[in-house]
Every structure is written in structure tokens, then in C-alpha cells.
Amino acid sequence: MTVILSIMALQITYVSMLSVRFILMVKGFRYIASMMSAVEIGIYVIGFKLVLDNLDNPVNLLIYCLSYGAGVLLGVKIEERLALGYITVQITTKEEFGELADQLRAKGYGVTRWAGDGLEGRRWVHNVVLPRKRHQQLHRDALAIDPNCFIVSYEPKAFHGGFMVRRM
């Protein structure tokens, strides 16, 4: 039982670190990611050796594989909680919700707005760049003003100038 619990703990730790490290690497946090990989590989070697030394029990291999999946889920959850980086949110509303920009600005968001034409008439398109930690709050704020607004979010690779740069 100790071997199974050790395999689970090592594998979940290793894979959650692997998931977070990969996301950090993609987001440009190279130095943190490289330091994590040094620790991560040590955990991997210890866990894999434990499985290889105990191959006489197939449950050990099964636990190793299932723990991999659990580690991926945990790693993604950790990264979501860290919410590193920025996100761009585009909110499209019907014409009668033109005050959305002013209301969001009053809450501290930097909003760029322009007019658009939709299938059913005139629309307002609002563009907001903000730290990912504030993403869910922006969704709640926008939906409180216009429950039927259309919201699209994506991560910018780089940005220059504007409201965000002045605040940083």
C-alpha cells in the first residue's frame, strides 16, 4: 500500500508540475519554467524507478497511469488559479446597451468601443485588455448590464501602448 501511495503522490506531483511548467513556458516565463523542470525530472525518475522496481504488481502500473491523468487535471487547476498573463475580451451588445463602455470604465476597465453592423441591426463592439485574474469579474460585470451580450476571450501574445501600459 505504501508503494501505491508513493507512486500516486510522486506521479501527481510530477505531472501537475509538468502541466504548469508547460503553460509557463508558452506564456514566456522561461526562467521559472527551467527551474521547475530541474525539480520535476528528479521527481519523475524517482517515481518511474519505483514503478519499474515493482512491476510484479500490475496495480502499480495502473495507479501510475491513472495518476498521470489526475496530475494533468491538478496542473491545469493550479494554472487557472495562478491566472498569469493578460486576456483580451470582446463584448458585443445591441445598440440600446451603448452605456456598457461607460459603466465598465467606471469600474476601472480600459474599454475601446466601436460601432458594428450585425444580422439584426446595429451593434456596439467593446474591446477590453485586462489581467487574467479579473477575467471572471469582467464577465459578471458585462452580463449584469446586458445578459444577452456576446463575449469572446483570447490571450494576446504582445501589446504596446494604451491603457494597460500606462497602468503597469
In whole angstroms, give the CA distance from residue 112 to residue 140: 19
**pLDDT tens string 16-63:** 999 999 988 888 888 999 999 999 999 999 999 998 998 888 898 899
Q: What is the mean pLDDT of the chain?
A: 89
Q: Where are the domains of the chain?
A: 2-82, 86-167
The pTM of the full predicted model, rounded to 2 decimals, is: 0.69
DSSP code per residue over 62-104: HHHHHHHHHHHHHHHHHHHHH--SEEEEEEEEEGGGTTHHHHH
The architecture of the domain spanning 86-167 is 2-Layer Sandwich (3.30)
- Residue 165 is predicted with a pLDDT of 55
Q: Tell me the pLDDT tens digit for each residue of 57-83.
A: 889 889 999 999 999 999 989 988 888
Residues 123-149: pLDDT tens digits?
A: 999 999 999 899 999 999 999 999 999
* All cell numbers assigned to 79: 494554472
